[in-house]
Amino acid sequence: MRLAMLFALVALMPTNAIAGPRRDTALEQQLLATMKVLASDDFKGREPGTEGETKTLRWLGKQWFDIGLVSGTNDPGHPWFAPVTLVARAPAGSTAQFVYKGRVETLNASEALILTSGRRSLVRGAPLYFVGRGRHDVPPRAELAGRIAVLLDRVPHPANGDSGSTPDLQNSDRQNALLAGGASAVLTVLDGQRSLASVTARRERSGYALASEALGGDLEGFVTTAAMDGLLGLSHASVGTLEAEADKGDFAPHLLELTANLEATTTETTIHTHNLIGKLPGHHPEAGAVLVLAHWDHFGTCAQPPAEHLICNGAIDNASGVAALTEIARRLAKGQPIDRDVYFLATTAEELGLLGAEAFAENPPLPLKSIVAAFNLDCVTIAPAGTPLGMVGKGMTGLDKDIARVVRAQNRRLSDSTAPNAYIGRQDGWVLLHHDVPTVMVTSAYGEISRLEHFFDTDYHRPSDVVKPGIELGGAAEDVALHVALVHWFGDAYSYPAATGG
């Protein structure tokens, strides 16, 4: 009985909300026009905290106001634009001194790099504690406390001929586990494929965090094999002997005959940026809300002369998502009234670590538990019309069954593949999921992963991500129509009772 009533409701919904997709060339042209504005050089790559941000948010805010949205910050002191304060931290100083029986050896920048996540961190006279390759259980806290864990970078992979190194993420996992286990610092010996120069190049860039986050104090260091050989040679050992020990089946962590003084400092820059939040008020806001979001930011100037084009304009990533967000809002504002409030969120600092979404979740304009469904839009102008839909977040919320119902009513096809879930942590929806907001990304862009990966391999995060002739708009236009239908469905307190949300 309940299912029959739901389908009856679908039949009664307005055609602009639930009818099957048709090629909407006018919508495609509107998406293109918005992308051309946001991805123009005049907006300077939409970097947070710059003139490019000011132009972006002023232009976008006016569009939303003219559509008929109202401010969604629910804060009279900050209408439309919710402040987000970031801190950029870049390595500034690195000191590595080692002591063997009173003899002090200081390594230079070509031999060692010491880093911290805080303003300044140091350890003095800490013993070096060799933990091998870090493949086994983390030693007890009593053994790690007050000591510097010495870790070999290379983890052999016999199955593929000993590639000589693990991915950076796995290396970070080992280091983080040792620090969490109580080590005063972790010193990684670069005995694999990674060089100190490559680590330095990767880590010399600024790291970003919300200003509200507590400053860390972790110390991590990297040392070349040659420099470590020199230090170990003082006690008639070598990196080779450490590697041989680590490969024994009965290996046990142990102290080395060295102590160290390590210090690292960072410089900090405060960045003032904003989320843009609009709202379409519902007739029954007590029933909750639906959230639609896309990130507005990109990288600004990202290349150096003599390159001909220096700006990362971010046409597909993510002027396209913001354009789609705006067109969804336009159609909803003109359409049939909705029970629930609908919030439209353009986040800042997605490219810096999903920080605008985190700021929204930490200081939301409405109780997060009242959001019954959230839909993220990112890099949508990838696929042509008629492409199946992919879902990032499939199986991770309670939304799937109702999404599938709306997709069928739209005469669209939803792929059964879970391959898009590989990208779950690379978009703002990941943050909201961690805050228990049921969030997915349903888009033709992820319907055929090979097409998306081609974009990642070519224009993604490069100055070449501009509005090009022949850019694919058909799939994005169909996605706009789908999201209008999704918002109508999840915004209706009858078709989607709040009790079923998430």
**70-121 residue pLDDT tens:** 999 999 999 999 999 999 989 999 999 999 999 999 999 999 999 998 889 9
Asked whether the beta carbons of 483 and 378 are under 8 A apart, the reply is no
What integer pLDDT is reported at residue 171 of this predicted model? 66
Q: For residues 418, 423, 429 and 432, what is the CA-based torsion angle, rounded to 10 degrees?
A: 90
The CATH 3.50.30.30 portion of the chain extends over 88-268
How many other β-carbons are positioned within 10 Å of the β-carbon of residue 95? 14
214 torsion bin: left (phi>0), alpha (psi -120 to 50), beta (else): beta
**pLDDT band at residue 17, thresholds of 50, 70 and 90?**
very low
Residues 391 and 404: their CA atoms lie apart, in Å, by 10
More confident residue, 207 or 22: 207
pLDDT for res 6:
44
Distance CA(314)–CA(21), nearest Å, equals 27
pLDDT for position 205: 77
Q: Which residue has the higher pLDDT, 136 or 38?
A: 38
Q: Per residue in 394-429, pLDDT tens? A: 999 999 999 999 999 999 999 999 999 999 999 999
Contacts of 492 (CB under 8 A, 6+ apart): 9, 338, 339, 340
> Whole-model pTM?
0.82
Question: Is a pLDDT exceeding 70 seen at residue 268?
Answer: yes
Mean of the per-residue pLDDT values of the chain = 91
Residues 215-257: tens digit of each pLDDT: 567 899 999 999 999 999 999 999 999 999 999 989 999 999 9
Residues 306-334 have pLDDT tens digits of 888 999 999 999 999 999 999 999 999 99
Return the pLDDT at 214.
60
| pLDDT value at residue 215 | 58
Q: Is pLDDT of 10 > 60?
A: no
Q: What is the pLDDT of residue 23?
A: 84
* CATH homologous superfamily, domain 2-17+24-68+281-500: Zn peptidases (3.40.630.10)
Q: Do residues 223 and 149 touch, judged by C-beta distance below 8 A?
A: no
Dihedral angle sign, alpha carbons of residues 31, 321, 292, 56: negative
| Percent of the chain surpassing pLDDT 70 | 91
Q: Where in the chain is the domain with CATH 3.40.630.10?
A: 2-17+24-68+281-500
Tell me which of 155 and 220 has the higher pLDDT.
Answer: 220
Q: Which CATH number fits domain 88-268: 3.30.70.360, 3.40.50.1370, 3.50.30.30, 3.50.50.60?
A: 3.50.30.30
CA 211 to chain centre: 17
